[in-house]
Amino acid sequence: MIDRKIICVVLGMLFLTCGNLFAQGVYSASHYHNEKEVQQLLEEIHQDHQGKTRLHKIAGSPGGTPVSVLEIGSDLKDVPALFVGANFEGNVPLATEGALRLIEMLMDSSKYTTQLKWYILPQPNPDAAKNFFAKVKYGRSVNDYEINNDADDAINEDGFDDLNGDGFITQLRVKSFNGTHIISKADPRIMVRADAARGERGEYKIYSEGADNDNDGKYNEDGEGGINPGISFPHLFPEEKSEAGLWPGQTPEVYGVMRFIYDHPEIAMVYTLGSSDFCISPPKGGRKGDPDLNRIKLPGRYARMLNADENQTYTLDEVVELVKDYSPAGTEVTPQIVAGMLGLGPAVNPLDEDLKFYSDFSNEYRKYLQSKEFSTDNLNPEPAKDGSFELWAYYHLGVPSFSMNLFSVPKVKEEKPEDENTPSAEEVVKMTDDEFLALGEEKVTALLNAYNASDNFSASKFMEMVKSGKLTPEQLLERLKNIPQPEQKNKLNEKEKALLAWSDEELNGEGFAEWQSFQHPQLGEVEIGGFVPYLESTPKAESVDSLLNVQLPWLLQLTKKLPQISFAGEELEEMGAGIYKLDLYIENKGQLPYPIAMGQRNSQPAPLVIVLDGDFELLEGLKRTPIRHIGANQVEKVSWLIKAGSKDVITAKIESAVFPDQVKQIKTGGRL
């Protein structure tokens, strides 16, 4: 195997060479850009396109690097905007490259920038991102914010140590009578936890590579940094993790992002490039904490106000009806508004109405990737982490939040024994609903058994779902693939197999540091080895172009699904004595509602407001009438009674913090 010291030297020379190319001002995905190059590139783009762009420095990292947002469309007024954030944890350099390539796509074409504004943040965590370019790599995710992790008198005194000098922080395995791990019988490179139930006894203790620098009996407990901006946002803030900080937004990068977004209410959709992937897999639910909406006890003051029994429980729908009975005419009362009024607790699971569009768009994305012959048979993307930017954007901002994982390691294809009763995955994907149903229960059961589906997944149940249109054969197959497979004795799990195969076949074995003996200063004879940092998230630079050019255009396609708000028409009925009934119809031609269900629940973003102006007397209705929700491809009617002369002109205006204001004029006694 090639000496790792030589590899590190060669990589360093390549980075220097690429830096010289970068100085020419030409974006290239032939290498990964470090934090200085990213900032330089943003400044150069802004200088070259000053009439169209603006560069916002929203924060300085604790390590002293600017955190900058490039605004594309600074010359546009009163248009919706999209916010794109990449690589919040700092350990997914491909995400930063994705943001840079997206900028290039937008600058090269006006198709998606004439009626849309973009705010793009390629590197919100530059302190952590620089580790990918360091002499010693360990997949850092925390910034340079000074935190004393071990609560002693010194800071950062016991971090990782590259003991064998290979340029990577991996693992130590130490033989011990009270060990916790054994060497896997499936592959001697892999360590597995000993299972006493199987008669196994631990032989090794596992540590991260390093020494006890402060002689306190602990290893690597107080390294450099810091706070991880990728888990430091308010939603489900993981306060038990020291790397999240003491409170959301404690670190300037996160506070700067939140401040910037709240200062720009025109942001209608958010994209996150990183490790999760809402484009391919809708946001996960199943968290505990949502209130029981079928057993609501009304607080005393609300029970008295609504003439209800405070000792009785109600469903949310029943409470909505009670509130409607005591609300002024024309007041919109929705379950989301009532839930907020009663303070029923924070939402911790995506709402069903939103999961529908997430699922629909996910299916479209899979078909899009298939049309590009782009394989999705890879390791599943990570679920969004508590405190992540993408969860905060959905749950707190109430806007569609889409994340994208631009690379994951391909799964190892298992050779399944041929069985005429078991249809192959390739066959199922191509089947129509009728063809799938024609298989019959026996073959569908065989398909379920091939994926180790539990008894809860019966053939008849799935066939009924396909028959009713709730599920397609392709969607069924995806569900089966995502079923956790039971660990089998003496076999590698799916992730281990995939990572080892990727290392062996694509990286000439360089993705795994072979175990080597080392004389440790405190532990004595140890072995150093394991998977190298960035293996799972970062492909070779020569693969970057093909990955970005196929996947990123889907984010541009998603912009076409934004709400499109306009006047659909009006009706003016003369009632006599100068009194008119005015009905205005407001339409949404987009494929997304405004706001989405979570936005309704949060009362955020701001509602559309219909404003009437002119020389008339308002008899019924409001001069400023909010429309709190308008569904996808739906029309909402707003009505007023007014008293006006026969030739007066009424001006109606749609005001919005997100969409362009629109104006319509109506002439009493006849339309204009």
At 9 the pLDDT is 35
Q: Which residue has the higher pLDDT, 464 or 268?
A: 268
- The DSSP element (H or E) to which 540 belongs, if any, is none
Q: What is the pLDDT of residues 399-409, one digit of tens each?
A: 999 999 999 99
For 558, phi then psi, to 5°, come to -65, -25
CB 300 within 8 A of CB 380: no
| pTM flag (> 0.85) | no
The answer on 504 and 469 residing in a single domain is no
- The DSSP element (H or E) to which 369 belongs, if any, is helix 352-371
The answer on 213 and 178 residing in a single domain is yes
Question: Which range scores top for mean pLDDT: 76-85, 155-164, 287-296, 645-654?
Answer: 76-85
Query: Quick one: DSSP state of residue 31?
Result: S
The answer on 97 and 125 residing in a single domain is yes
User: In the listed set 307, 324, 342, which residue is the last one of a domain according to the structure?
Assistant: 342
* Residue 338 domain flag: yes
At 486 the pLDDT is 58
CA-based nearest residue to 646, from 670, 620, 618: 670
Please count the structural domains in the chain: 5
Q: Is 142 exposed, middle or buried (0-12, 13-18, 19+ CB in 10 A)?
A: buried
Radius of gyration of the chain (CA): 29
At 20 the pLDDT is 34
* Residue 14 domain flag: no
At 414 the pLDDT is 65
The answer on 56 and 177 residing in a single domain is no
* Residue 17 domain flag: no
Lowest mean pLDDT among 8-22, 319-333, 632-646: 8-22
CB 415 within 8 A of CB 454: no
CA-based nearest residue to 661, from 610, 614, 594: 610
Is the pLDDT at 534 greater than 90? The verdict is yes
How do beta strands 267-273 and 81-86 pair? Answer: parallel
- The DSSP element (H or E) to which 654 belongs, if any, is strand 649-655
The answer on 625 and 551 residing in a single domain is no
The answer on 241 and 200 residing in a single domain is no
Structure tokens at 392: 């905060």
Q: What is the pLDDT of residues 572-616, one digit of tens each?
A: 999 999 999 999 999 999 999 999 999 998 888 999 999 999 999
For 617, phi then psi, to 5°, come to -110, 125
Which pLDDT band holds residue 671 (cuts at 50, 70, 90)? very low
The answer on 136 and 49 residing in a single domain is yes
Mean pLDDT rounded to a whole number for the chain: 87
At 49 the pLDDT is 94
* Residue 4 domain flag: no
Is the pLDDT at 12 greater than 50? The verdict is no
Looking up tokens 């768009």 gives 361
Other beta carbons within 10 angstroms of residue 104's beta carbon come to: 16
At 221 the pLDDT is 52
Q: Angle at CA 444, nearest 5°, toward 439 and 448?
A: 160
CATH number at residue 620: 2.60.40.10
Average pLDDT over residues 609-631: 95
At 287 the pLDDT is 78
User: In the listed set 490, 518, 536, which residue is the last one of a domain according to the structure?
Assistant: 536
| Rounded-to-integer distance, Cα 12 and Cα 609, Å | 57
* Residue 414 domain flag: no
At 28 the pLDDT is 58
Average pLDDT over residues 529-553: 96
The answer on 508 and 378 residing in a single domain is no
Other beta carbons within 10 angstroms of residue 259's beta carbon come to: 14
At 288 the pLDDT is 72
Residues 6+ apart with CB under 8 A from 255: 59, 249
Instruction: Cite the DSSP H helix spans in 451-568.
Output: 459-467, 473-481, 494-506, 544-558
Average pLDDT over residues 203-207: 94
Q: Which domain holds residue 532?
A: 148-222+500-536
How do beta strands 117-121 and 81-86 pair? Answer: parallel
pLDDT above 90 covers a percentage of the chain that reads: 62
- The DSSP element (H or E) to which 181 belongs, if any, is strand 181-183
The answer on 437 and 300 residing in a single domain is no
Which pLDDT band holds residue 155 (cuts at 50, 70, 90)? very low
* Residue 22 domain flag: no
Q: What is the pLDDT of residues 128-148, one digit of tens each?
A: 999 999 999 999 999 999 875
3-state SS, residue 188: coil
Is the pLDDT at 484 greater than 80? The verdict is no
Is the pLDDT at 417 greater than 80? The verdict is no
pLDDT above 70 covers a percentage of the chain that reads: 86
Average pLDDT over residues 652-660: 96
The answer on 459 and 578 residing in a single domain is no
Lowest mean pLDDT among 106-115, 191-200, 457-466: 457-466
Q: What is the pLDDT of residues 314-345, one digit of tens each?
A: 888 888 888 888 777 667 777 767 776 776 77
Q: Is 364 left (phi over 0), alpha (psi -120 to 50) or beta?
A: alpha
* Residue 10 domain flag: no
CATH number at residue 48: 3.40.630.10
* Residue 329 domain flag: yes
CB 382 within 8 A of CB 275: yes
Which pLDDT band holds residue 670 (cuts at 50, 70, 90)? low
Name the β-bridge partners of 517.
527
The answer on 310 and 247 residing in a single domain is no
Which pLDDT band holds residue 218 (cuts at 50, 70, 90)? low
The answer on 596 and 472 residing in a single domain is no
Average pLDDT over residues 182-203: 93
